[in-house]
Structure 1
Amino acid sequence: MTTGTRPEPEPATATAAKASATDTDTDTDTDGILTTTVDGIRTVVLAAPRPGPLSAGLLFRVGSADETLATSGITHLVEHLALHRHGLSDLHYNGATAAAHTHFHVTGTPADVVAYLNGVCAALRDLPMDRLDTEKEILRTEAAGTSAGPAHAAAVWRYGPRSYGLAAYPEFGLRKITEHEVRDWARTRFTRENAVLWIAGDTVPEGLDLDLPAGEWRPAPEATSALPRTPAWFRGGDGGVCLTAVVPRTTAATLFAGVLGKELFRELRQKGGYSYTAAADYSVRDAGHATVVAYADALPEKQDALVGAFVDVFAKLRAGRIEQGDLDAVRASALSRFDVPDLAAAWLPGQAADLLLGHPRLTTARARAEIEAVTVEDLRDVARAVWADALMQVPDRAVDWAGLTAAPCESADVVTGRRHPATGDEAVALIVGDEGISLVAPHGRATVRYAECVLMRSFPDGARHLIGPDGISLTVEPTLYRIHPSDLAVIDGSVPASAVVAMEPRDPALIPRPVKPDLATAWRDPRAWPVTAAIWTLGVLTAALAVLTCVLAFQATDRSIPAGDQDWRPVKAAALVTAGAAALCVTQVRRRERGRA
């Protein structure tokens, strides 16, 4: 819709008169979006009629970021249970659980909308608990068929297994969540004060009954951090480069993401030919922050060149070398969003989400003005802010040369306690202490303290998988470390019960066993050549002594030598030296085999 052609809104009083009898104060903005209340729920509706089917949605300020790792999946589970009674229908409806909100939305006739929203609220008041186990299985199946995005790993490294990092973990809590916990979560989070209703129509449909429990509005959770400093980098395994940064929610940041995407595509695909997918994105995190994501893929032989070119793009933008034409093109694309029919209805869900999060709502006029005011200098400032908060995932290579610091991938210290060497390798050991547990190895160390453990998965075979608040995790495998039951008892008695999730028995084939060494690979290891040389020397010496023993034995039994003159001492000495050398050689081989294992 072009400026000046939008129909004048109806007077606010006329629309308010059509609303529920429970409405109190009303307010209409310049876009014709009316803010009121329905059944005690903050509501945004249109102040003018619109043609076509009616759309509506009910948003709750609760999502995966509000959970703990041991209860992860509980919001998603409530959403599924609330929708079960709708069953199969031609009605277009759905539900979605995000990091900071849960959304139930529907499109249809006014009667369809009323039936759907009333049904959702009725289900939230009395969830069908007979479906609890079935819906858990459905959610696990859903997760198995869902692929992670390029920024998936970065969330773990940035936030750890808490707040906005929980969306990057499996829903571990599904196995543990009880009927009582589900009911309590619905009663305290899915409340009328913690919800916003939007209706893309000029009236509240007759018969709407959104009877929800009383509660309180809950702001979005504070973000946790597992990064001591930024900019930082970590190694990823998908062969691409992904950079994420958290920046303030601004119009300039949204346009910067568009300009960044153009620059990455031009430099990495069109000019360099390093990448097929090179793009950038901007997404809202909470009321005041957003996440900028930049991603590019590459074949293994081009990954070094890709990393260098990727860093160069950010250096160019931070220096302010931004094409005015790129900004103009991105600006024109952003402004084109206003030239659509039924603009107010299209903006309504976003307006409701901002109201739910506590973010100031922008009118279309204000949004236009902010887009038109963005300059190249503004984008340069955003580029610098993005780089300052950058977390960069790279293939198997370091990027310290670019001014980034390696994100910590090991613990700073280890606990004091009983040491359990790994079977076949004394250089690797598990330490079980009274305060926590540590795994030490030549390549690093990991520690999880019991009081801080956010999740412990407990397996019937004795395995324990512990995850700390910094994302560091370790697994206790009795088959690999010969852990005594008394040590498991210490762990089980020290980790908070709220963090423990009992797991089902594992397939015996999945229980790890000590690995038999691959001798062919072991002998090719260049680091083993000093030991290899010693073993071969001992082997040659053993063979020589064996030959000498045979010669001496033959001479000692020569009939030409009188029996009383035979001297058996050389034979005994040679046999003893040969046996010792052979034993030493075997010992060295066995030690090498255990080391490789």
Structure 2
Amino acid sequence: MSTDQVDGQAHQRADGQAGLQELVVDGVRVFHQPGPSKTRATLYFGVGLRDETFGTVGLTHLVQRLVVAALPTSRLEAEVGVAVDHTTFDAYGRPEEVGEFLRRVCTALADLPLDRLARERGALLVEGTVGADRTMAVAWAARYGFAGPGLAITDGHGPLVLTGEEVLAHAAEHFHAGRAALGVLGPLPEGLTLPLRSGTAASSSAPSAAASSVSPALAVQRHPQPLLGDGPEWVEAPTDGVGLLLDGFAPYDRAADVAWSVLCERLRDVARTGHGLTYSVVSEIIDSADGDVFTAALDVREGRGAEVAGLVWEQLVDLAENGPTRAELDHAIAGAAAEMDASDEDVARAEPFRWAFSTALHGRARPLEVVRAQLAEVTGEAVRDRLATAARRALLVVPAGFQLPEAAQQAAPIAQRPWCGLAPALPPGRQLRPPLLHRLRSKMARRRLVLTDECIALQDEDGDVHVVRWDEVVAVDELPYADDGLAVVGRRLCGLAVHPDPYGRQAYDELLRRLAPQVERLRQVQRAREQAAPAGPAQDAQDAQDAQDGAA
């Protein structure tokens, strides 16, 4: 890009992108494309669910709701959204109205209306805090546990426990100029201002103040390390669909993009068109600590989960061994190139938003001509190699109640792994057992509890051993069937039920001492639930109306 100074602001034009300009307004990078008489603008922030913790799930969504609550009634077409990795504020209308919308959004982010906190928490309780595809969320959780994108599988403790201090800290850390970018199509609003807090993208790598104020164990892991086995794995998981996760791809690798496109199209042809076993194949790409993550989710006809899972694995293995056909490769490249054709009016109009989105999330974007040139160089051998490498650590999600067919496993070795992080044996240490009477009367005879300086471990009635390191405890919760006791939740999806009666008060007190921050968080949850409990039918009706008003 070339750069010059106009009115104290940096104006830039992307080489080869006629009409697309970049300027900086109040520290925010703005990508502007002239267009129709009305203006469409989308303000992106590189913050989403992955910037939260188990204890603060819903925090980004709550910030967004408080901002919307501060906006006046308007004739604008406006939409807002929170995803796993980004948050958006979109408006379409007369330029001056769009400019006023953006100014008010930024002003509200710098001074959130906490007087609306209780009402918006109630509305969020009704609306839900997580909006990801269930099968994708399950795949992310299987790969990352209760961290980063894996949090999409849970509501955590729920929005009622989120405090004003946490909301303000989250907004200050993530909703600032350094993590924002704006795309504008149409007339640029005259006198545009974006009065966000100042900040840089690098500052977002620090642990969240909201999380660290609760416990070091709850520190945000925006890019958690993947939970990998020794090779490809399949897992029976709590979902009705079939999922496939491939990761470790280098960012901006067009051969990887084409490989993923070929695979998804093959799955549509085989599973949906050829066999009629699935209704849709949806996919999403997110980034991780070691590259891009590609995830596909397939809806499954009732009772056909095993068959669809087998087809998915067989098609991946075939492409990894033999590569795509010439027709498959040409179709995928032609489709991607069409989406990058600068002469296409729809593509040109989408450019400011592509640049703003990529800038907010990754700090940069690439010109269309560069992407098209890279696509032209992709070969069938490159596609095969990318899929062969990714298949070595593939994760296949099989719906609950189904097993991956033996015939599919013969296509290439793939190991079954448990849903949570089971261990082969209890760690060394003193083993605590239930009293003799309990052991004689029930299956509790096989239960063992071990507390060490590094972890808590439990062998359950079936002999399975669950181990949770102290530094991987993400939360504790009440046992639903007892007046006392705790469920210890680990990052690797394990839940350990610990009650003082079977193992002794001394051991239980030791557990409480080691998990004091998480226990205090639980007490906050309990107090929040008690305060939110309705006083009677009239209060029930008022709460329902408040939630409806807030969700409107």
Same fold (TM over 0.5): yes
Task: Report how many aligned residue pairs link the two structures.
Answer: 486
Instruction: Indicate the percent of aligned positions where both proteins have the same amino acid.
Output: 26
Q: TM-score, length-normalised on structure 2? A: 0.78
Aligned to 1:556: none
CA distance in 2, matches of 1:388, 1:71: 34
Secondary structure of the corresponding residue to residue 447 of structure 2: strand
CA distance in 1, matches of 2:378, 2:278: 30
Q: Would you say 1:216 and 2:176 are equivalent positions? A: no
* Offset, 1:380: 0.9
- Higher normalized contact order (CA 8 Å, seq sep 6+, divided by chain length): 2
Aligned to 1:403: 413
Distance 1:347 1:416, change over 3 A: farther
Correspondence for 1:258 among 261, 267, 270: 261
Instruction: Give the aligned CA root-mean-square deviation in angstroms.
Output: 3.2
Distance 1:130 1:40, change over 3 A: same
CA distance in 2, matches of 1:340, 1:417: 69
1:181-580 → structure 2 map (5 Å cutoff):
181-201=166-186, 203=188, 205-218=189-202, 221-238=222-239, 240-246=241-247, 247-249=249-251, 250-271=253-274, 273=275, 275-277=277-279, 279=281, 281-285=283-287, 289-299=291-301, 302-337=304-339, 338=341, 340-358=344-362, 360-395=364-399, 396-398=402-404, 401=410, 402-408=412-418, 409=420, 410-412=422-424, 413-414=426-427, 416-420=430-434, 424-429=442-447, 431=449, 433=451, 435=453, 436-441=455-460, 442-458=462-478, 461-476=483-498, 487-497=507-517, 500-502=521-523, 503-504=525-526
Correspondence for 1:30 among 6, 9, 16: 16
* Offset, 1:443: 4.0
Secondary structure of the corresponding residue to residue 166 of structure 1: helix
CA distance in 2, matches of 1:289, 1:78: 29
1:46-125 → structure 2 map (5 Å cutoff):
46=33, 49-86=34-71, 88-125=73-110
1:484-541 per-position Cα deviation (integer Å, ceiling 9, x unaligned): 665543322211415733344999xxxxxxxxxxxxxxxxxxxxxxxxxxxxxxxxxx
* Offset, 1:160: 1.1
List runs of 5+ in structure 2 lacking aligned partners. 206-221, 531-552
CA distance in 1, matches of 2:471, 2:379: 50
CA distance in 1, matches of 2:360, 2:130: 30
CA distance in 1, matches of 2:129, 2:32: 38
* Offset, 1:387: 1.0
CA distance in 1, matches of 2:506, 2:377: 68
Q: What is the identity, as a one-letter code, of the residue corresponding to 2:295?
A: V
* Offset, 1:403: 1.3
1:154-213 per-position Cα deviation (integer Å, ceiling 9, x unaligned): 11110111122122221436333221121122122212223222222353x224332222
Secondary structure of the corresponding residue to residue 227 of structure 1: coil
> Do the aligned residues in 2 keep the contact of 1:462 with 1:488 (CA within 8 Å)?
no
> Do the aligned residues in 1 keep the contact of 2:234 with 2:397 (CA within 8 Å)?
yes
Aligned to 1:143: 128
> Do the aligned residues in 2 keep the contact of 1:288 with 1:359 (CA within 8 Å)?
no
Distance 1:360 1:131, change over 3 A: closer
Distance 1:157 1:284, change over 3 A: closer
Residues 424-433 or 36-45, more deviating: 424-433
Q: What is the identity, as a one-letter code, of the residue corresponding to 1:452?
A: E
> Do the aligned residues in 1 keep the contact of 2:229 with 2:393 (CA within 8 Å)?
no
Distance 1:296 1:77, change over 3 A: closer
> Do the aligned residues in 1 keep the contact of 2:106 with 2:196 (CA within 8 Å)?
yes
CA distance in 1, matches of 2:198, 2:323: 54
CA distance in 2, matches of 1:360, 1:191: 17
List runs of 5+ in structure 1 lacking aligned partners. 1-10, 508-597
Distance 1:117 1:234, change over 3 A: same
Aligned to 1:594: none
Distance 1:132 1:231, change over 3 A: same
> Do the aligned residues in 1 keep the contact of 2:146 with 2:492 (CA within 8 Å)?
yes
CA distance in 1, matches of 2:270, 2:102: 49
Distance 1:263 1:458, change over 3 A: same
